[in-house]
Chains A and B, each alone.
Chain A
Protein backbone atom coordinates (compact mmCIF):
# COMPACT_ATOMS: atom_id res chain seq x y z
CA UNK A 1 0.00 0.00 0.00
CA UNK A 2 2.79 2.40 0.99
CA UNK A 3 4.67 1.63 -2.19
CA UNK A 4 1.54 2.18 -4.27
CA UNK A 5 1.01 5.63 -2.68
CA UNK A 6 4.66 6.48 -3.32
CA UNK A 7 4.43 5.44 -6.97
CA UNK A 8 1.26 7.47 -7.45
CA UNK A 9 2.74 10.57 -5.81
CA UNK A 10 5.99 10.37 -7.78
CA UNK A 11 3.87 10.02 -10.93
CA UNK A 12 1.79 13.05 -9.92
CA UNK A 13 4.94 15.17 -9.47
CA UNK A 14 6.29 14.01 -12.84
CA UNK A 15 3.04 14.80 -14.67
CA UNK A 16 2.68 18.14 -12.88
CA UNK A 17 6.23 19.10 -13.85
CA UNK A 18 5.56 18.21 -17.50
CA UNK A 19 2.27 20.15 -17.49
CA UNK A 20 4.02 23.16 -15.90
CA UNK A 21 6.70 23.17 -18.59
CA UNK A 22 4.24 22.79 -21.47
CA UNK A 23 1.89 25.47 -20.18
CA UNK A 24 4.63 28.11 -20.42
CA UNK A 25 4.43 27.92 -24.22
CA UNK A 26 2.37 30.86 -25.43
CA UNK A 27 0.36 29.24 -28.19
CA UNK A 28 -3.43 29.35 -28.64
CA UNK A 29 -3.71 25.56 -28.23
CA UNK A 30 -1.89 25.63 -24.90
CA UNK A 31 -3.96 28.62 -23.77
CA UNK A 32 -7.12 26.66 -24.51
CA UNK A 33 -5.85 23.79 -22.37
CA UNK A 34 -5.32 26.19 -19.47
CA UNK A 35 -9.10 26.53 -19.16
CA UNK A 36 -9.07 23.10 -17.53
CA UNK A 37 -6.73 24.32 -14.80
CA UNK A 38 -9.62 25.29 -12.54
CA UNK A 39 -7.61 25.20 -9.30
CA UNK A 40 -4.68 27.20 -10.65
CA UNK A 41 -2.17 24.39 -10.26
CA UNK A 42 -0.11 25.34 -13.28
CA UNK A 43 1.33 28.84 -12.93
CA UNK A 44 2.50 31.10 -15.73
CA UNK A 45 5.92 32.46 -14.89
CA UNK A 46 6.52 35.26 -17.41
CA UNK A 47 6.93 37.82 -14.60
CA UNK A 48 7.06 41.33 -16.11
CA UNK A 49 7.78 39.82 -19.52
CA UNK A 50 7.96 40.28 -22.34
CA UNK A 51 6.63 43.83 -22.00
CA UNK A 52 6.58 45.25 -18.49
CA UNK A 53 4.01 47.62 -17.06
CA UNK A 54 5.38 51.12 -17.68
CA UNK A 55 2.32 53.23 -16.98
CA UNK A 56 0.13 54.17 -14.07
CA UNK A 57 -3.59 54.67 -13.98
CA UNK A 58 -4.61 57.58 -11.82
CA UNK A 59 -8.26 57.90 -10.85
CA UNK A 60 -9.51 61.38 -9.94
CA UNK A 61 -12.94 62.75 -9.33
CA UNK A 62 -14.76 66.02 -8.89
CA UNK A 63 -17.96 66.65 -7.00
CA UNK A 64 -20.91 69.02 -7.16
CA UNK A 65 -23.41 69.95 -4.48
CA UNK A 66 -27.18 69.68 -4.81
CA UNK A 67 -27.42 73.14 -6.39
CA UNK A 68 -24.91 72.17 -9.07
CA UNK A 69 -22.04 74.20 -7.65
CA UNK A 70 -18.63 72.52 -7.84
CA UNK A 71 -17.58 71.34 -4.38
CA UNK A 72 -14.02 70.71 -5.45
CA UNK A 73 -11.96 70.32 -8.61
CA UNK A 74 -10.31 67.04 -9.61
CA UNK A 75 -9.10 65.18 -6.54
CA UNK A 76 -6.97 62.05 -6.95
CA UNK A 77 -7.75 58.78 -5.21
CA UNK A 78 -4.83 57.67 -3.03
CA UNK A 79 -3.94 54.55 -5.08
CA UNK A 80 -1.36 53.52 -6.20
CA UNK A 81 0.35 55.91 -3.77
CA UNK A 82 4.00 56.53 -2.97
CA UNK A 83 6.16 53.70 -1.66
CA UNK A 84 6.27 53.35 2.12
CA UNK A 85 9.10 51.70 4.06
CA UNK A 86 6.71 49.14 5.50
CA UNK A 87 5.63 48.04 2.00
CA UNK A 88 8.74 45.84 1.79
CA UNK A 89 7.43 43.72 4.66
CA UNK A 90 3.67 44.19 4.54
CA UNK A 91 2.31 46.02 1.53
CA UNK A 92 -1.30 46.46 2.49
CA UNK A 93 -2.11 48.26 -0.78
CA UNK A 94 -0.65 45.65 -3.15
CA UNK A 95 -3.86 43.81 -4.03
CA UNK A 96 -6.08 46.89 -4.11
CA UNK A 97 -3.59 48.65 -6.39
CA UNK A 98 -3.45 45.70 -8.76
CA UNK A 99 -7.24 45.45 -8.80
CA UNK A 100 -7.64 49.18 -9.45
CA UNK A 101 -5.00 49.03 -12.19
CA UNK A 102 -6.93 46.17 -13.82
CA UNK A 103 -10.26 48.01 -13.67
CA UNK A 104 -8.79 51.23 -15.06
CA UNK A 105 -6.90 49.36 -17.77
CA UNK A 106 -10.10 47.63 -18.83
CA UNK A 107 -12.07 50.89 -18.97
CA UNK A 108 -9.48 52.59 -21.12
CA UNK A 109 -9.38 49.62 -23.48
CA UNK A 110 -13.04 50.27 -24.37
CA UNK A 111 -14.15 53.30 -26.34
CA UNK A 112 -17.45 53.71 -24.51
CA UNK A 113 -17.55 51.37 -21.53
CA UNK A 114 -21.09 50.58 -20.37
CA UNK A 115 -21.77 52.02 -16.92
CA UNK A 116 -22.86 48.60 -15.71
CA UNK A 117 -19.50 46.87 -16.22
CA UNK A 118 -17.95 45.72 -12.91
CA UNK A 119 -14.77 47.72 -13.64
CA UNK A 120 -16.77 50.93 -14.06
CA UNK A 121 -18.82 50.26 -10.95
CA UNK A 122 -15.70 49.41 -8.91
CA UNK A 123 -14.10 52.74 -9.74
CA UNK A 124 -17.38 54.57 -9.19
CA UNK A 125 -17.71 52.83 -5.83
CA UNK A 126 -14.19 53.89 -4.80
CA UNK A 127 -14.85 57.46 -5.86
CA UNK A 128 -18.23 57.58 -4.14
CA UNK A 129 -16.77 56.26 -0.90
CA UNK A 130 -14.10 58.94 -0.99
CA UNK A 131 -16.57 61.66 -1.97
CA UNK A 132 -18.87 60.85 0.95
CA UNK A 133 -16.29 62.33 3.29
CA UNK A 134 -17.48 65.67 2.00
CA UNK A 135 -21.06 66.21 3.14
CA UNK A 136 -21.82 68.70 0.41
CA UNK A 137 -20.97 66.26 -2.40
CA UNK A 138 -24.14 65.31 -4.25
CA UNK A 139 -22.95 64.19 -7.67
CA UNK A 140 -19.54 62.98 -8.84
CA UNK A 141 -17.69 62.38 -12.04
CA UNK A 142 -14.48 60.38 -12.21
CA UNK A 143 -11.58 60.42 -14.60
CA UNK A 144 -9.00 57.76 -15.39
CA UNK A 145 -5.64 58.92 -16.72
CA UNK A 146 -2.98 56.64 -18.09
CA UNK A 147 0.43 58.20 -17.45
CA UNK A 148 3.86 56.84 -18.41
CA UNK A 149 7.01 57.98 -16.62
CA UNK A 150 5.25 59.46 -13.61
CA UNK A 151 8.59 59.82 -11.81
CA UNK A 152 10.49 60.96 -14.90
CA UNK A 153 11.14 64.59 -15.72
CA UNK A 154 8.56 64.52 -18.51
CA UNK A 155 5.57 62.32 -17.63
CA UNK A 156 3.48 61.46 -20.70
CA UNK A 157 -0.30 61.22 -20.63
CA UNK A 158 -1.16 58.28 -22.87
CA UNK A 159 -4.91 58.23 -22.52
CA UNK A 160 -7.81 59.40 -20.44
CA UNK A 161 -11.43 58.60 -19.84
CA UNK A 162 -14.12 60.67 -18.14
CA UNK A 163 -17.19 59.06 -16.69
CA UNK A 164 -20.78 60.17 -16.60
CA UNK A 165 -22.02 62.19 -13.60
CA UNK A 166 -23.53 60.05 -10.86
CA UNK A 167 -25.34 60.61 -7.60
CA UNK A 168 -23.14 60.04 -4.57
Chain B
Protein backbone atom coordinates (compact mmCIF):
# COMPACT_ATOMS: atom_id res chain seq x y z
CA UNK B 1 0.00 0.00 0.00
CA UNK B 2 1.37 3.41 -0.91
CA UNK B 3 0.35 6.93 0.00
CA UNK B 4 2.04 10.08 -1.29
CA UNK B 5 4.35 7.80 -3.31
CA UNK B 6 5.84 6.17 -0.20
CA UNK B 7 5.17 2.76 1.28
CA UNK B 8 4.49 2.37 5.01
CA UNK B 9 7.80 0.52 5.32
CA UNK B 10 9.70 3.48 3.87
CA UNK B 11 8.18 6.03 6.24
CA UNK B 12 8.87 3.69 9.14
CA UNK B 13 12.51 3.52 7.99
CA UNK B 14 12.67 7.31 8.24
CA UNK B 15 11.08 7.26 11.69
CA UNK B 16 13.46 4.51 12.75
CA UNK B 17 16.45 6.64 11.77
CA UNK B 18 15.10 9.49 13.89
CA UNK B 19 14.69 7.07 16.79
CA UNK B 20 18.29 5.94 16.26
CA UNK B 21 19.40 9.56 16.53
CA UNK B 22 17.40 9.82 19.77
CA UNK B 23 19.19 6.74 21.14
CA UNK B 24 22.57 8.15 20.14
CA UNK B 25 21.64 11.44 21.83
CA UNK B 26 20.55 9.69 25.04
CA UNK B 27 23.62 7.44 25.11
CA UNK B 28 25.89 10.45 24.64
CA UNK B 29 24.05 12.32 27.36
CA UNK B 30 24.53 9.42 29.79
CA UNK B 31 28.23 9.20 28.90
CA UNK B 32 28.67 12.93 29.43
CA UNK B 33 26.93 12.78 32.80
CA UNK B 34 28.55 9.62 34.16
CA UNK B 35 29.73 11.66 37.18
CA UNK B 36 26.07 11.77 38.27
CA UNK B 37 26.28 8.01 38.89
CA UNK B 38 29.35 8.35 41.12
CA UNK B 39 29.10 8.65 44.94
CA UNK B 40 27.57 12.04 45.69
CA UNK B 41 25.83 12.19 42.31
CA UNK B 42 22.08 12.62 41.98
CA UNK B 43 21.81 9.21 40.29
CA UNK B 44 24.17 7.25 42.56
CA UNK B 45 22.82 3.71 41.97
CA UNK B 46 23.88 2.52 45.44
CA UNK B 47 21.16 4.82 46.79
CA UNK B 48 18.61 5.17 43.98
CA UNK B 49 18.62 1.37 43.74
CA UNK B 50 17.58 1.08 47.39
CA UNK B 51 14.20 2.55 46.63
CA UNK B 52 11.46 -0.05 46.35
CA UNK B 53 11.26 0.29 42.58
CA UNK B 54 9.45 -1.98 40.15
CA UNK B 55 10.22 -5.68 39.47
CA UNK B 56 12.68 -4.71 36.73
CA UNK B 57 14.71 -2.66 39.21
CA UNK B 58 14.62 -5.50 41.73
CA UNK B 59 15.80 -7.98 39.08
CA UNK B 60 18.62 -5.59 38.12
CA UNK B 61 19.55 -5.25 41.79
CA UNK B 62 19.74 -9.04 42.21
CA UNK B 63 21.57 -9.59 38.93
CA UNK B 64 24.15 -6.82 39.03
CA UNK B 65 24.21 -5.71 42.65
CA UNK B 66 24.08 -2.12 43.86
CA UNK B 67 27.84 -1.74 44.21
CA UNK B 68 28.60 -2.94 40.70
CA UNK B 69 25.68 -1.10 39.05
CA UNK B 70 27.76 1.98 38.34
CA UNK B 71 30.23 -0.09 36.33
CA UNK B 72 27.49 -0.94 33.82
CA UNK B 73 26.71 2.69 32.92
CA UNK B 74 29.48 3.26 30.39
CA UNK B 75 29.42 -0.15 28.59
CA UNK B 76 25.63 -0.03 28.26
CA UNK B 77 25.72 3.52 26.91
CA UNK B 78 28.52 2.66 24.48
CA UNK B 79 26.61 -0.40 23.21
CA UNK B 80 23.55 1.78 22.80
CA UNK B 81 25.49 4.43 20.89
CA UNK B 82 27.06 1.83 18.58
CA UNK B 83 23.67 0.18 18.00
CA UNK B 84 22.15 3.54 17.13
CA UNK B 85 24.82 4.15 14.50
CA UNK B 86 24.10 0.76 12.91
CA UNK B 87 20.34 1.42 12.87
CA UNK B 88 20.94 4.78 11.21
CA UNK B 89 22.32 2.85 8.23
CA UNK B 90 20.21 -0.33 8.49
CA UNK B 91 16.83 0.67 9.92
CA UNK B 92 15.41 -2.85 9.51
CA UNK B 93 18.20 -4.69 11.34
CA UNK B 94 15.91 -6.14 14.01
CA UNK B 95 18.66 -7.80 16.12
CA UNK B 96 20.35 -4.40 16.50
CA UNK B 97 17.00 -2.75 17.24
CA UNK B 98 16.44 -5.43 19.87
CA UNK B 99 19.86 -4.60 21.30
CA UNK B 100 18.86 -0.91 21.43
CA UNK B 101 15.74 -1.82 23.38
CA UNK B 102 17.71 -4.06 25.74
CA UNK B 103 20.27 -1.32 26.41
CA UNK B 104 17.41 1.07 27.13
CA UNK B 105 15.95 -1.55 29.46
CA UNK B 106 19.29 -2.01 31.21
CA UNK B 107 19.68 1.75 31.64
CA UNK B 108 16.16 2.18 33.08
CA UNK B 109 16.96 1.16 36.68
CA UNK B 110 20.05 3.39 36.60
CA UNK B 111 18.30 6.54 35.44
CA UNK B 112 14.85 5.77 36.93
CA UNK B 113 14.58 9.00 39.02
CA UNK B 114 15.53 11.04 35.95
CA UNK B 115 13.26 9.43 33.36
CA UNK B 116 10.61 11.48 31.56
CA UNK B 117 7.96 11.07 28.85
CA UNK B 118 10.58 11.48 26.10
CA UNK B 119 12.21 8.28 27.34
CA UNK B 120 8.83 6.55 27.37
CA UNK B 121 8.08 7.54 23.78
CA UNK B 122 11.55 6.39 22.71
CA UNK B 123 10.93 2.99 24.31
CA UNK B 124 7.58 2.63 22.55
CA UNK B 125 8.89 3.57 19.09
CA UNK B 126 11.95 1.32 19.46
CA UNK B 127 9.82 -1.73 20.22
CA UNK B 128 7.46 -0.92 17.35
CA UNK B 129 10.37 -0.54 14.92
CA UNK B 130 11.83 -3.84 16.16
CA UNK B 131 8.56 -5.75 15.75
CA UNK B 132 7.78 -4.39 12.31
CA UNK B 133 11.32 -5.30 11.12
CA UNK B 134 10.60 -8.98 11.87
CA UNK B 135 8.59 -9.24 8.67
CA UNK B 136 8.20 -7.34 5.42
CA UNK B 137 4.44 -7.92 5.47
CA UNK B 138 2.59 -4.86 4.22
CA UNK B 139 -0.16 -5.34 6.81
CA UNK B 140 2.38 -5.22 9.65
CA UNK B 141 4.03 -2.07 8.28
CA UNK B 142 0.64 -0.34 8.00
CA UNK B 143 -0.37 -1.55 11.48
CA UNK B 144 2.93 -0.25 12.92
CA UNK B 145 2.47 3.16 11.26
CA UNK B 146 -1.12 3.23 12.49
CA UNK B 147 -0.07 2.31 16.02
CA UNK B 148 2.58 5.05 16.14
CA UNK B 149 0.07 7.60 14.86
CA UNK B 150 -2.44 6.46 17.48
CA UNK B 151 0.19 6.70 20.22
CA UNK B 152 1.12 10.23 19.11
CA UNK B 153 -2.50 11.39 19.04
CA UNK B 154 -3.14 9.72 22.40
CA UNK B 155 -0.08 11.38 23.96
CA UNK B 156 -1.12 14.87 22.86
CA UNK B 157 -4.82 14.33 23.60
CA UNK B 158 -4.19 13.02 27.13
CA UNK B 159 -1.70 15.83 27.81
CA UNK B 160 -4.24 18.43 26.63
CA UNK B 161 -7.27 16.90 28.35
CA UNK B 162 -5.30 16.48 31.55
CA UNK B 163 -4.23 20.15 31.52
CA UNK B 164 -7.85 21.09 30.84
CA UNK B 165 -8.80 19.64 34.25
CA UNK B 166 -7.00 22.40 36.08
CA UNK B 167 -7.86 26.09 36.46
CA UNK B 168 -4.13 26.74 36.66
CA UNK B 169 -3.76 26.02 32.95
CA UNK B 170 -6.94 27.79 31.85
CA UNK B 171 -6.01 30.96 33.71
CA UNK B 172 -2.38 30.98 32.58
CA UNK B 173 -1.20 30.76 36.21
CA UNK B 174 0.18 27.29 35.56
CA UNK B 175 2.24 28.33 32.57
CA UNK B 176 3.51 31.42 34.39
CA UNK B 177 4.29 29.27 37.42
CA UNK B 178 6.21 26.68 35.42
CA UNK B 179 8.26 29.26 33.58
CA UNK B 180 8.99 31.14 36.80
CA UNK B 181 10.90 28.14 38.17
CA UNK B 182 14.64 27.81 37.74
CA UNK B 183 14.01 24.19 36.86
CA UNK B 184 11.89 24.88 33.75
CA UNK B 185 12.07 28.60 33.13
CA UNK B 186 14.09 31.52 31.90
CA UNK B 187 13.98 34.71 33.98
CA UNK B 188 13.36 37.09 31.07
CA UNK B 189 10.44 35.07 29.69
CA UNK B 190 8.95 34.54 33.15
CA UNK B 191 9.00 38.28 33.86
CA UNK B 192 7.51 39.05 30.43
CA UNK B 193 4.64 36.63 31.07
CA UNK B 194 4.14 37.99 34.59
CA UNK B 195 3.60 41.45 33.07
CA UNK B 196 1.10 40.07 30.49
CA UNK B 197 -1.39 37.73 32.16
CA UNK B 198 -3.46 37.86 28.94
CA UNK B 199 -0.58 36.42 26.93
CA UNK B 200 -0.06 33.65 29.50
CA UNK B 201 -3.78 32.84 29.41
CA UNK B 202 -3.77 32.74 25.59
CA UNK B 203 -0.74 30.43 25.55
CA UNK B 204 -2.39 28.21 28.19
CA UNK B 205 -5.56 27.92 26.10
CA UNK B 206 -3.53 27.32 22.92
CA UNK B 207 -1.61 24.50 24.62
CA UNK B 208 -4.76 22.82 25.94
CA UNK B 209 -6.76 23.13 22.70
CA UNK B 210 -3.81 22.42 20.38
CA UNK B 211 -2.81 19.25 22.22
CA UNK B 212 -6.36 17.99 22.76
CA UNK B 213 -7.41 18.43 19.14
CA UNK B 214 -4.17 17.42 17.40
CA UNK B 215 -5.81 14.24 16.08
CA UNK B 216 -8.24 16.32 14.00
CA UNK B 217 -5.38 17.17 11.62
CA UNK B 218 -4.75 13.47 10.93
CA UNK B 219 -8.40 13.02 9.97
CA UNK B 220 -8.49 16.26 7.97
CA UNK B 221 -5.82 15.17 5.50
CA UNK B 222 -2.12 15.49 4.68
CA UNK B 223 -2.01 19.30 4.31
CA UNK B 224 -3.57 19.84 7.74
CA UNK B 225 -1.24 17.15 9.12
CA UNK B 226 1.85 18.88 7.76
CA UNK B 227 0.73 22.13 9.42
CA UNK B 228 -0.01 20.33 12.71
CA UNK B 229 3.33 18.47 12.61
CA UNK B 230 5.19 21.72 11.89
CA UNK B 231 3.39 23.16 14.93
CA UNK B 232 4.43 20.12 16.98
CA UNK B 233 8.07 20.51 15.90
CA UNK B 234 7.95 24.21 16.84
CA UNK B 235 6.32 23.32 20.19
CA UNK B 236 8.92 20.69 21.11
CA UNK B 237 11.76 22.92 19.96
CA UNK B 238 10.40 25.76 22.09
CA UNK B 239 10.12 23.39 25.08
CA UNK B 240 13.73 22.35 24.48
CA UNK B 241 14.99 25.94 24.29
CA UNK B 242 12.89 27.45 27.08
CA UNK B 243 12.37 24.51 29.43
CA UNK B 244 15.49 22.48 28.68
CA UNK B 245 13.43 19.46 27.59
CA UNK B 246 15.85 18.25 24.95
CA UNK B 247 14.76 14.62 25.24
CA UNK B 248 11.32 15.06 23.64
CA UNK B 249 12.15 16.35 20.16
CA UNK B 250 13.59 13.26 18.48
CA UNK B 251 11.46 10.50 20.10
CA UNK B 252 8.26 12.35 19.19
CA UNK B 253 9.61 13.27 15.73
CA UNK B 254 10.18 9.54 15.10
CA UNK B 255 6.40 9.12 14.93
CA UNK B 256 5.81 12.09 12.60
CA UNK B 257 6.54 10.35 9.26
CA UNK B 258 4.02 7.65 10.19
CA UNK B 259 1.44 10.26 11.18
CA UNK B 260 1.82 11.99 7.83
CA UNK B 261 1.58 8.71 5.93
CA UNK B 262 -1.48 7.49 7.84
CA UNK B 263 -3.16 10.83 7.23
CA UNK B 264 -2.52 10.55 3.47
CA UNK B 265 -3.65 6.90 3.45
CA UNK B 266 -6.85 7.81 5.31
CA UNK B 267 -7.52 10.59 2.80
CA UNK B 268 -7.07 8.07 -0.04
CA UNK B 269 -9.00 5.18 1.45
CA UNK B 270 -11.71 6.58 3.71
CA UNK B 271 -14.51 8.73 2.26
CA UNK B 272 -14.42 12.36 3.37
CA UNK B 273 -17.90 12.24 4.87
CA UNK B 274 -16.97 9.32 7.12
CA UNK B 275 -13.80 11.08 8.31
CA UNK B 276 -15.86 14.19 8.95
CA UNK B 277 -18.37 12.19 10.95
CA UNK B 278 -15.71 10.45 13.06
CA UNK B 279 -13.90 13.76 13.54
CA UNK B 280 -17.10 15.55 14.55
CA UNK B 281 -17.97 12.91 17.16
CA UNK B 282 -14.46 13.01 18.66
CA UNK B 283 -14.31 16.82 18.61
CA UNK B 284 -17.69 16.97 20.39
CA UNK B 285 -16.42 14.55 23.03
CA UNK B 286 -13.19 16.51 23.56
CA UNK B 287 -14.79 19.96 23.63
CA UNK B 288 -17.51 18.60 25.93
CA UNK B 289 -14.85 17.34 28.35
CA UNK B 290 -12.91 20.60 28.21
CA UNK B 291 -16.05 22.73 28.62
CA UNK B 292 -17.12 20.63 31.61
CA UNK B 293 -13.78 20.99 33.35
CA UNK B 294 -13.43 24.67 32.47
CA UNK B 295 -16.83 25.36 34.03
CA UNK B 296 -16.13 23.16 37.08
CA UNK B 297 -12.75 24.73 37.74
CA UNK B 298 -14.10 28.26 37.21
CA UNK B 299 -16.80 27.68 39.82
CA UNK B 300 -14.24 26.15 42.21
CA UNK B 301 -11.85 29.08 41.76
CA UNK B 302 -14.64 31.64 42.29
CA UNK B 303 -15.89 29.89 45.43
CA UNK B 304 -12.33 29.80 46.82
CA UNK B 305 -11.77 33.50 46.20
Inter-chain CA distance A12–B240, complex, in Å, is 33
Question: Does A52 sit within 8 A of B, measured CB to CB?
Answer: yes
Q: How many residues of A contact B (CB 8 A)?
A: 70
Q: Is the interface of B mostly helix, strand, loop or mixed?
A: helix
Residues B111 and A81 in contact, CB atoms below 8 Å apart = no
> Closest CB of chain B to A158's CB: distance in Å?
12
User: How near does chain B come to A151, taking the closest CB pair, in angstroms?
Assistant: 4
Partner of B137, one of A6, A14, A46: A6
Interchain CB contact under 8 A, B143 and A9: yes
**Residues of A close to B33: CB separation below 8 A:** 92-93, 95-96
Q: Are B36 and A89 in contact (CB under 8 A)?
A: no
The listed residue with most B CB atoms (<10 A of its CB), out of A80, A94, A148, is A94
Once the chains are docked, how many angstroms separate the CA of A129 from the CA of B155? 39
Give the complex CA separation of A121 and B46 in angstroms.
10
Bound-state CA distance A130–B40 (Å) is: 8
Assess whether A9 is in contact with B47, with CB atoms less than 8 Å apart: no
Q: Is the CB of A128 within 8 A of B40?
A: yes
Residue B151, interface by CB 8 Å: yes
Q: Given A91-B244, A91-B246, A118-B47: A40 and B162 within 8 A (CB)?
A: no
Chain B residues in 8 Å Cβ range of A82: 182, 187
| CB-defined A-B contacts under 8 Å, sample of 28 | A5-B134, A6-B137, A9-B132, A9-B137, A13-B143, A13-B144, A13-B146, A38-B56, A41-B123, A49-B159, A50-B164, A53-B184, A54-B180, A55-B177, A79-B42, A80-B181, A87-B240, A89-B246, A91-B240, A91-B245, A92-B33, A94-B244, A94-B246, A95-B33, A95-B42, A99-B42, A128-B40, A150-B181
Chain B residues with Cβ under 8 A from A150's Cβ? 180-182, 185
A2/B158 in contact, CB under 8 A? no
Chain A hits for B113, CB < 8 A: 95, 98-99, 102-103
Flag the segment in B4-12, B114-122, B262-270, B277-285 that touches A. Answer: B114-122
With the chains together, A48 CA to B159 CA distance in Å? 7
Measured CA separation A14–B284 after assembly (Å): 25
Docked CA distance A100–B105 (Å): 22
User: Cα distance A152–B242 when bound, in Å?
Assistant: 16
Give chain A nearest CB distance to B81 CB in angstroms.
14
Q: List the 10 shortest-distance A-B pairs measured between CB atoms, nearest first.
A: A95-B114, A129-B40, A54-B177, A49-B162, A46-B162, A43-B120, A151-B190, A99-B113, A50-B166, A96-B42
Chain A residues with CB under 8 Å of chain B are: 2-3, 5-6, 9-10, 12-14, 16-17, 20-21, 24, 35, 38-41, 43-56, 58, 79-83, 87-103, 118, 121-122, 125-126, 128-130, 148-153
- Seed contacts A53-B178, A90-B32; 19 additional CB < 8 Å A-B pairs: A13-B144, A35-B54, A40-B120, A48-B159, A49-B164, A53-B181, A55-B181, A83-B186, A83-B244, A90-B29, A94-B114, A95-B29, A97-B114, A118-B48, A122-B42, A122-B47, A125-B41, A151-B185, A153-B194
Asked whether A24 and B143 contact (CB < 8 A) given A48-B163, A125-B41, A152-B194, the answer is no
* Cβ contact within 8 Å between B165 and A50: yes
CB distance from A137 to the nearest CB of B (A): 13
The closest CB in chain A to the CB of B241 belongs to A88
Q: What is the chain A residue whose CB lies nearest that of B238?
A: A88
